[in-house]
Amino acid sequence: MSERVIELEVLRYNPETETEPHFQRYLVTCEEEWVVLDALNHVKETIDPTLNYRWSCHMAVCGSCGMMINGEPKLACKSFLRNYQGVIRVEPLAHFPIERDLVTVIDDFMTKFKRVKPYLIPKDEKPVGEGEYRQTPAELKKFKQYTLCINCMLCYAACPEYGLTPKFIGPAAISMAHRYNLDSRDGGRKERQQEIASGEGVWECSFAGACSEVCPEHVDPASALQQVKIASTVDWYTEHLMPWVKK
């Protein structure tokens, strides 16, 4: 089994005791199949137990280990060391406050995610005894892609609008709202539109497309945002120019 020595340059910062972040370098003897997360785990276990970062599943499912790797938002568990040469710089996700080292404060994202009501609001309530809310494969296909989001927040770290305008609800939250708006079983679109079609919603998006480029699950949030723009425009024209049309 082949091994090589890599050098990690990791951002360190404890807001309680330090005035600004700094970088610390670690030499790590790694194996061929290792990812960046393996290297960080090795550092914490054998070199520096004070290093802080988030991770859970190691399978690109939980979304916990999002961080900036050589300046790009990545999942540390999907970033193979063999794909990098030279010093590998690891930083916390951009556009979020640092809690400690590579751990960011995600309260803003969670608040915005909650605002879009990311859950099914049934069109017609029925007793549990009547069974499931059924739908056809074709109806499922309309929104299935947007169910793949793992809330890793890489899209927020890549989004220039979120970086410039923190009030922007952001790609993941709007994509999830769109997912439920497209669901044939859902009746909560009007409530979500008050959030995602507002001044802090989809109209802040300048369609840079960076969110879709970094998405590890290929959700393509950029497409969801553009579809929301189209649907919101149709809403406006319907309301103002065709008020007799019932939705």
What string of DSSP letters covers 188-243? -HHHHHHHHTSTTTGGG-----HHHHH-TT---HHHHHHHHHHHHHHHHHHHHH-T
Tokens 């410039």 belong to which residue? 164
In the chain the domains, ranked by start, together with CATH numbers, are 3-104 (3.10.20.30), 107-241 (1.10.1060.10)
> Which DSSP letter does residue 60 get?
S
In this prediction the pTM is 0.93
Residue 156 CA to residue 163 CA, distance in Å, equals 8
Asked if 175 contacts 181 with a C-beta cutoff of 8 angstroms, the reply is no
pLDDT per 10-residue tile (average), the chain, 247 residues: 89 94 97 96 97 97 97 98 96 97 97 96 88 93 97 98 96 98 96 93 94 97 96 84 69
C-alpha span between 91 and 53 (Å, rounded):
10
pLDDT in tens, 159-181: 999 999 999 999 999 999 999 99
Q: Please report the pLDDT score of residue 247 as a whole number.
A: 56
Tokens 């809690």, residue located = 99
Positive or negative: CA dihedral 113, 119, 123, 124: negative
Radius of gyration of the chain (CA): 21
